[in-house]
Amino acid sequence: MSRFDLVVKNGNVVIPKLGVIRADIGIVQEKIAAISREIDEKEAIKMIDASEKYVFPGAVDSHFHIGIFRPMDEDAISESASAAWGGVTTIGSYFRTGKNYLNKSGPYKEIFPEVLENSRESFYTDYVYHISIMTPEQVNEIEMLVKKFGVSTFKYFMFYKMLDLTGAPGSGQYLMINTSYDLGFLYGYMREVARVNKIFKNYGRISLSIHCENPEIIHPATEYMKSHMSGNPLKDYSDARPTFAEKLAIKEAETIAAQTNCPVNILHLSSIDAIESGDEAAQRNPELSILLEATLHHLGLSNDIPYGRLGKVNPPIREKEHVEALWKAVINDDIKTVVSDHACSTKKIKEGDIWTSLAGFGGTELIFPLLLTEGYQKRGLPLHRIAEITSYNSAIYHALYPKKGTIALGSDADLAIIDLNKEKKVSVETLHSAQDFTPFEGIQYKGWPICTILRGKVIFEKDQIVGRPGDGQFIKRPVMYHYREELTL
């Protein structure tokens, strides 16, 4: 008699905080129901042979921008498919009111249902939303967003801090607001996140993610660089947003976070300055459990690549010394999550020069290949640490654990089966995204996912997507609050 809906047999199972074990995994009704030395084939309705392969918990790519430049449903379909190819089973996407995304502003109680409606039949992977609070009225919606909509992470952009009303990005016009978006606003915002975090303290972390770059420095530095261009636009762009502007913003954020007791996530560190100030902030405030995050592009690219505006992203791609410092911080476990910051764009969307082009591009599908090649193969980063960086830590810090983030009894059966010996060169075709370029073009990576399983259902195998849009579900967080009964076996 069949006891399991699916059995993944003979794999090397990579378990966060534990290591690699040879085991069979039995799945019943979307959950992991057995991890055993040997499960008899006869007990399985369906069997996948993972001999000589490595079975990781599906990646939680917790920094994503579905719908930033393209219609949300369309973007979710193509970009979550690209994620599924990459062994990602949960996407954490940012959303804010204002220009881009849905081009509207107002209360989230009206706008967020629209976001969910656009998402409902569009994701191949599970997904969550992090919400950017832009107005004092929206600050008052934070508790409701956690309780009713299951949103446990919020966001603030230090570099949109309103300085003037010229109409440039960062202005009220772009953000579609007419109230202050300054440190005073951030103070009130953090106080409220801290208050709500206290309410949910037994269920998971309610936190504020912060894009740390100081606009008062960027503004004059950009003006200077526009008249002192070197011939390498990506280097000029990096100099226009100097690394000390990251450091300054991190220090401002840390000061207010410590004052208000607000748990914070410092997003996409790009430089030695950012790492140093992020480390200091984390060490000085252990009670805030500050998360330091890095992206694939800051770990995989330096600003000598010939991509010009197509490689434009905030914070910018830096020189090689910064890339090495980021790897050191990942290996030391100072940087705890590595994410794609995936924002699907096209050459057309990124029209203009280095100063006028929109910032951001995608790379979610490279999360395992890049970490396995640059981390495991080149720098000796152990496989179980890669499972922590891609899945476990993201799940813990974003209140998804233990539903997501590990391979354990009762957890969702989200798995990425990886062939550590598979080698492939990155190209636009390799990435299966709607993006018509990639700054990673031509890089050879070793270690690619060959099968992705979402809650017990195969969504990618044999070089094709076999799931469908709509397989992915919106996950309410903290999961310990929203799925209390479900989490018991």
Q: List residues near Zn ion by CB under 5 A.
A: 341
Nearest distance in Å: CB 195, Zn ion: 26
Nearer to Zn ion, 341 or 374 (CB): 341
Q: How far is CA 215 from the centre of its chain?
A: 23
Nearer to Zn ion, 246 or 341 (CB): 341
Query: Using CB atoms, what's the residue nearest to Zn ion?
Result: 341
Nearer to Zn ion, 260 or 433 (CB): 433
Distance CA 188, CA 78 (A): 38
Nearer to Zn ion, 341 or 388 (CB): 341
Edge-to-edge strand list for the sheet holding 291-295: 59-64, 88-96, 126-132, 153-157, 207-211, 264-266, 291-295, 337-339
- Torsion, Cα of 182, 192, 142, 158 (10° steps): 30
Amino acid (one-letter) located at 341: D
Nearest distance in Å: CB 296, Zn ion: 12
Nearer to Zn ion, 294 or 451 (CB): 294
- Crossing angle of helices 272-284/243-260, nearest 10°? 10
Nearest distance in Å: CB 171, Zn ion: 20
For residue 315, cis peptide bond before it (omega within 30 degrees of 0): yes
Tokens of 230: 């070197």
Nearer to Zn ion, 126 or 341 (CB): 341
Surface-to-core class of residue 406, CB atoms within 10 Å of its CB (0-12 exposed, 13-18 middle, 19+ buried): buried
Cα distances (Å, whole numbers) of residue 123 to 152, 367, 394: 20, 18, 19
Token pair 């998360």 in the structure block, residue: 291
Nearest distance in Å: CB 234, Zn ion: 18
Nearest distance in Å: CB 334, Zn ion: 20
Nearer to Zn ion, 61 or 341 (CB): 341
Nearest distance in Å: CB 94, Zn ion: 6
Nearer to Zn ion, 27 or 83 (CB): 83
Nearest distance in Å: CB 343, Zn ion: 7
For residue 242, cis peptide bond before it (omega within 30 degrees of 0): no
What DSSP assignment string belongs to 118-174?
HHTTT-SSEEEEEEE--SHHHHTTHHHHHHTT---EEEEEGGG-----SSSTTSHHH
**Eight-class DSSP state of 448:** E
Nearest distance in Å: CB 65, Zn ion: 6
